[in-house]
Amino acid sequence: MINAIKKMALGVAAAALVLAASGAAMAFGHYTPGALGLGAATLPPPGFHYTIYNIFYNADTMIDDNGNESNVGLDLNVFASAHQFTYMTDYKFLGAEFGFDMIVPLVSTNIEIRAAGVDDSQFGIGDLYFEPFVLAWRKPQWDVAFALGFYAPTADSGGSASPGLGYWSFMETLGATYYFDQARTWSVSLLTRWLQNTESRDSDVTQGANVVAEYGAGKTISLSRDLLFQFGVSGYTNLQLTDNSGTTNDDVRARSNAVGPEIHFTLLKPLVLQAYLRYLFEYGTEATSEGQTLCLTLIGSF
């Protein structure tokens, strides 16, 4: 969603550092981890839903493939406002509610890598995401989600701060939320995203496949009859599963993890309005940047 910088090789200590920008990591692939946390695998009920993901990412540390800090003079700041339009129907397929959605991201990237002589800024519409097949199962103490979608290379690409990546990505989503009590006040959620990529139109490089696992655990309390408050911990793990192929073919695989606090408000009347706020710190990073993510998500249900 936010990845806005093409992979580039940096000659640092006779080694190549492979970089790409992301709202959640300077990492690998279209999907931005950290966009979801508490209730990540709980999909909205039938109806139309408009979601705005406002994601701020900052990093000044580059980690090599051995997990050591590399002094490349990195200064990366990314802001993305991703607009998601979701429609869940009453139609049942395999016992699940069927729906579909699309995402239009607006991306602003500022990147400086002094060791590579890179200093660039750009704002634009990122690659569009289409998810034509979404299934939501709902049980008294379980929610299960499954979806199939793809990113289309609709945005400008090829530059160090370009909003697009220049290749197609296909994504499969599977996850579940479990509620420990029948009132659904205590919950734990895990949502996985599996991505495969085509060859870049700007080079003959094919980015390796990756998996993103987002999670959250929290407690919900009632502040009033029409206002709910949830608090807890959320995070993610992002792993590159296969090597890159093409001119930068190598066995370096990026990875990153993050964890942090999250709060969530739900207003039940006159419309269902929700606000999520999470702050995530990255750790256990390899072959990518290490920084912090602040995400403010606003949802209106109609």
Q: State mean pLDDT over 169-176.
A: 98
Asked if 3 contacts 254 with a C-beta cutoff of 8 angstroms, the reply is no
Contact predicate 53/40, CB 8 Å:
no
Q: How far apart are CA 19 and CA 8, in angstroms?
A: 6
pLDDT surpassing 90 at residue 65: no
Q: Tokens 């608090």, residue?
A: 231
> What average pLDDT score do residues 178-191 get?
97
User: Is the pLDDT assigned to residue 222 strictly greater than 90?
Assistant: yes
Q: Tell whether the model's pLDDT for residue 15 goes beyond 90.
A: no
pLDDT tens by residue, 68-81? 888 899 999 999 99
Q: Tell me what pLDDT residue 116 has.
A: 85
How does residue 248 score in pLDDT terms, banded at 50, 70 and 90? low
The tally of domains found in the chain comes to: 1
Task: Judge contact between 22 and 32, C-beta under 8 A.
Answer: yes
| DSSP designation for 207 | P
Name the pLDDT band for 223 (thresholds 50, 70, 90): very high
Whether 16 is covered by a domain: the verdict is no
pLDDT for residue 59: 94
Structural domain includes residue 5: no
239-264 mean pLDDT: 88
Please report, as a single letter, which amino acid is at residue 104.
V
Q: Please, what is the average pLDDT of the chain?
A: 88
The reply to whether 6 falls in a domain is no
Confidence of residue 12 (pLDDT cuts 50, 70, 90): very low
Average pLDDT over residues 86-103: 97
pTM, rounded to two decimals = 0.88
Pseudo-torsion of CA 135, 138, 141, 145, nearest 10°?
Answer: 10
Tell me the C-alpha distance between 125 and 183, whole Å.
41
Q: What does the angle CA 49 – CA 50 – CA 56 come to, to the nearest 5 degrees?
A: 135
Exposure letters 36-46 (e unless 16+ CB within 10 A, then b)? bbbbbbbbbee
Domain extent for 249: 36-301
CB atoms within 10 A of CB 66: 10
Per the domain annotation, does 165 fall within a domain?
yes
Give the per-residue pLDDT at 252.
83
SS3 state at 116: helix
pLDDT at 249: 57
Dihedral sign for Cα 148, 154, 155, 159, please. positive
CA distance 136 to 94: 10
- The yes-or-no verdict on residue 178 having pLDDT over 70 is yes
99 close to 89: Cβ distance less than 8 angstroms: yes
| pLDDT tens figures, 203-215 | 888 889 999 999 9
- Establish if 109 belongs to a structural domain: yes
Other C-beta atoms lying within 10 Å of the C-beta of residue 218: 21
CB 27 within 8 A of CB 18: no
- Degrees to nearest 5, angle at CA 302 with 181 and 212: 55
Tokens of 218: 């929290």
Question: What is the domain-level CATH number for residue 53?
Answer: 2.40.128.130
The pLDDT of residue 28 is: 67
Say yes or no to pLDDT of 160 above 90: no
* Residue 238 resides in a domain: yes
Across residues 152-160, what is the average pLDDT? 87
Angle at the Cα of 55 from the Cα atoms of 52 and 56, rounded to 5 degrees:
150
Give a yes or no: residue 7 inside a domain: no
State yes or no: pLDDT of 2 exceeds 70.
no
Looking at residue 203, what is its pLDDT?
A: 84
Place of tokens 């706020």: 277
The residue-averaged pLDDT of 127-143 equals: 97
Q: Specify the length of the chain in residues.
A: 302
The residue-averaged pLDDT of 146-175 equals 92
CA-based nearest residue to 163, from 55, 79, 72: 79
pLDDT of amino acid 162:
84
The verdict on residue 27 lying in a domain is no
Q: Which of 116, 94, 133 is nearest to 17 (CA)?
A: 116
Interval 27-42: pLDDT, tens = 468 999 999 999 999 9
